[in-house]
């Protein structure tokens, strides 16, 4: 299955032989980023900068950033993370559905007293 797009990821660290301050200044001038974006990019953890449609565009961005001295890569776009409820309903390592409590919810049937009507 072909990827829908690619994530262009920047690591925020300098390659060997480059100074981090020089890379920050060059990226500021080249890409016109603000102070908030620069702080986010150079936090030291991988950050998805851009989502691109094809691998050629991602490769051109990679060459541009690596020529400035940054560490970056591109990877196929993954699906969106599932919701909490979807993750809870997936089977776990013990082989049964993880739906919370071991006992079924008694409130769905008869009320607290025997005389309560069945819903």
The structural domains of the chain, ordered by start, are: 6-76 (3.30.1390)
What pLDDT score was predicted for residue 97? 52
pTM of the model as a whole: 0.58
Rounded CA separation 91/97 (Å):
5
Dump pLDDT digits (tens) for 62-117: 999 899 898 899 998 876 555 666 666 665 545 555 555 555 555 555 556 666 66
Max CA distance (Å), the chain: 80
Q: Which of 113, 119, 106, 8 is nearest to 56 (CA)?
A: 8
- The proportion of the chain whose per-residue pLDDT surpasses 90, expressed as a percent, equals 7
State what percent of residues in the chain have pLDDT above 70. Answer: 63
> What does the pLDDT look like over 68-82, one tens digit per residue?
898 899 998 876 555
């Amino acid at each position: 299955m072909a990827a829908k797009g690619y994530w262009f990821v920047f690591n925020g660290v300098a390659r060997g032989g480059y100074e981090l301050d020089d890379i920050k200044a060059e990226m500021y001038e080249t890409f016109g980023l603000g102070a908030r974006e620069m702080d986010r990019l150079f936090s030291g953890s991988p950050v998805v900068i851009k989502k691109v449609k094809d691998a050629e565009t991602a490769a051109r961005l990679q060459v541009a950033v690596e020529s400035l001295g940054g560490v970056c890569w591109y990877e196929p776009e993954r699906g969106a993370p599932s919701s909490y409820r979807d993750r809870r309903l997936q089977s776990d390592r013990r082989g049964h559905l993880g739906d919370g409590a071991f006992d079924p919810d008694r409130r769905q049937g008869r009320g607290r007293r025997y005389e309560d009507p069945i819903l």
